[in-house]
Amino acid sequence: MATDTAWYRVGTITVAKDKADVTGAGTGWTGQVREGDLLWGPDGRPYEVAQLLSATALKLRTAYQGNTASAQPYAIVRNFTDSSLGEVSAELAKMQRRWLITLGGFRDVLLTDQDKATLYDELGQPHEVMSWPAIDKAAKAGLAAMDAARKVVVDNAAELVASRNAAKASETAAGKSAATATAKANEAGASATAAAGSAATASAKATETATNAEQVAKAQAEVKANTAKVAADAAKAKTDADRAAAAAQVNIDVVAATSIPLPDVWLPLTSDLRFITGIGCATETLRIGDDEFIVPMRGANFDRASTATYIDKAGRMQTAQANEPRFGRDGLLIEGQVTNLLQNSVATVWGGGGSGQAKARPDVDFLGWKGVVTQCLSKDTPANGCIGKPCVDVGNGMATSSCYLKLVNPQSPVPVALYGHASITASGQNALAAFDLEKGEVIETGGADYVSSTIMEMADGWYFCTVTFKTKATPSSGFGCLPWARKPIPLGDDQGFYVACPQLEQRPFASSYIPTSGTPVTRAPDHCWIDGANIAQALTGNQPMTIAMEVYANSVDAWSFALTSKDWRFSVQSNMSAKQSIAQSVSKSPAAADTRAETRPSFSPDMRLAVAVLGAKTGTKVMLGGMLSSNPAEETRITAAGDVAIGNSRTGSRSIAGRIRNLRIWHRVLTDAQIKALA
């Protein structure tokens, strides 16, 4: 999930002089504030957040220096460490650390005074090898041993030759003295003894020489083994070094190829209308105490002529005042003009098939609201257990019923059917969908006029359920829901299901809830736009542009405008009910003289990121969720500047009926790798 970079100002705070504790009122700090963020206090000083205690309590790193005050405005300046730029920096730092560790391992191999050194591969795994000093020492020791053995062999060989010559001389002398052997017996005996002694000495020397030769052979074998091990370790070290260098280069190449330049226009649309980059001359209301001031703001413009409900980032139902944008988990909500045809959607007691079938439950909470919940208490057959709502004439075409449903007791689940009444369907049959509120599934559908149905899990066990069906022109009971079973269902006070915020609208999908009390109510369309100066620079230089945004659209069976200007439009289609396709196109406006056919590639329905390249030499490119497509025959080049509408046409029609966030415009063509990196 992308990091919310806007300052957080929701609610007020109470602070005490020389205290580090801060108490919030109307704040929702959980998930929005973290350790390391800055709190801009009522005294105009910044304080570091040391600990988030709850959604309404936090502790500062240092004590508050200003005077004690309550119900004061404030601002949280978010720490950007977890932003996309921070993540990229962290990855580069990790790669650098690994490379430095590898270099350090090579340095230890060459310079350490230890016999072993450790090298690390690209995964950070250690490998122990012989150090270069140890290799050098072992080689020198082997060479010295070989030299010593050589000297022993040479020296002993000289002694052995001398002994052999002495023995031969003695033998010769004995032969010459044979004639005087008798006279010289004693002398000959002595000479024989001397010869025997010399022979013994020669034998000992020969034995010693053999032993030394064996030692030399053993030393040679050890030197050979050490030399082979040194060569193997050196080869492995080189392989590891080459692999680490290659991995580092791949990472560097990937970062370089996918590095995305700062957009010329960047509008996050996560919690306000402010630009990060871009040109804007909008205004905002600044509240100081009980006073309100209208001040300039560099951001997008917005208006809506009525109030409107929405689900906020915390999953709570809220009411936005006229001209107040609606921000939720997935960005800015943009919807067209819609009427809730039910005459009394907030009535606490509904009509039904019999008395006692339903009762008001003002004590039951619905996503932060109370007084809007009804409990179904059918004790009869399903046909007599329905509760319904009358409506005005829906007309011929297609309508959608919607409401929020919740089991009274999850331990006693009961399936629930939501339907369009037979009195308003084209064929005169109920068009219905049955829902399993335990598993969050559509379990059965029926009726000749049934078109589609959806179920979406909300907070606190509530589900948002819809059914779409074909209609005929007649004012009658248009909305209903009932327990769904093939036999009577006995329900007690602690059983059944809750119903809240029913709605019937003449369109093929559901929108945000519109409260009615006696007569249908129409919600005005949302208008959001940015100044045409944000694209004028590209027009002046006749440059192509790249546009990217996250689109969460509910509209079906019709092309909706994600972005439009004076002579061009960026369209998206989301046929979510049929689960068929999401497609998009960039085209000239039909009102322009040079009208081009729209390019409509099909994509998987779960893809959200929409990207368009306008005026590129290769033609129009469009992408959703990493799938890039282009039509070389198409080239949509913008020729006239004008305000750029977001989420619908410049007149407010063709709304996406969904949410948009993270709008970015570059006055250049991004590469395919950069475009895919956006996803």
DSSP-assigned states of every residue in 535-583 = HHHHHHTT--EEEEEEEEE---SS-EEEEE-SSEEEEEEE-TTTT--EE
Q: What is the rounded average pLDDT for all residues in the chain?
A: 74
Angle at Cα 516 formed by Cα 514 and Cα 521, nearest 5°? 65
List the one residue out of 30, 68, 26 whose CA is nearest residue 49. Answer: 30
Task: List residues bridging with 61 in a β-sheet.
Answer: none
**Dist CA 468 CA 399 (whole Å):** 6
- pLDDT value for 154: 59
For position 581, what pLDDT does the model report? 32
594: pLDDT strictly greater than 60: no
What pLDDT is recorded for position 215?
78
Instruction: Answer whether 583's CB lies under 8 Å from 601's CB.
Output: yes
pLDDT tens by residue, 263-299: 888 999 999 888 888 877 677 777 787 787 777 778 8
More confident residue, 455 or 555: 455
Q: Structural domain boundaries of the chain?
A: 12-82, 104-258, 264-335+524-679, 338-523
User: pLDDT tens digits, residue range 474-523?
Assistant: 656 666 777 776 555 556 677 788 899 998 888 888 899 999 988 889 99
Instruction: Check pLDDT > 90 for residue 26.
Output: yes
At 382-431, the pLDDT tens digits run 444 455 666 766 777 888 889 999 998 888 788 888 877 777 777 878 88
Ranking 59-68, 120-129, 299-308, 349-358 by mean pLDDT, the lowest is 349-358
39, 42, 46, 49: CA torsion to nearest 10? -30
**Exposure of 63 in the CB half-sphere (CA atoms within 13 A):** 7
In the predicted model, what is the mean pLDDT of residues 36-64? 94
Furthest CA-CA distance within the chain: 163
Convert the pLDDT of each residue in 83-126 to its tens digit: 555 566 666 767 767 777 777 777 887 888 888 888 877 667 78
Question: Amino acid identity, residue 169?
Answer: A
Confidence of residue 152 (pLDDT cuts 50, 70, 90): low
- Please report which confidence band the pLDDT of residue 353 belongs to, taking 50, 70 and 90 as the band edges: very low
User: Is 6 or 172 the better-scoring residue by pLDDT?
Assistant: 6
Q: What's the CA gap between 503 and 208, in Å, rounded?
A: 111
Q: Could you report the per-residue pLDDT of 522-576, keeping only the tens digit for each?
A: 999 999 888 877 776 655 555 677 788 887 766 444 456 666 665 566 665 544 3
Residues 338-523, CATH architecture: Sandwich (2.60)
Q: Which of 28-32, 73-77, 249-253, 484-488 has the lowest mean pLDDT?
A: 484-488
Give pLDDT, residue 194: 52
Q: What CATH architecture applies to the domain 264-335+524-679?
A: Sandwich (2.60)
Residue 361 or 461, more confident: 461
For the whole prediction, is pTM greater than 0.85? no
pLDDT higher than threshold 60 for residue 209:
no
- Quote the pLDDT of residue 243: 81
Question: Best-predicted range by mean pLDDT among 59-63, 204-208, 337-341, 625-629?
Answer: 59-63
Topology match between the domains 264-335+524-679 and 338-523: yes
Residue 227 has pLDDT above 90, yes or no: no
CATH of span 12-82: 2.40.30
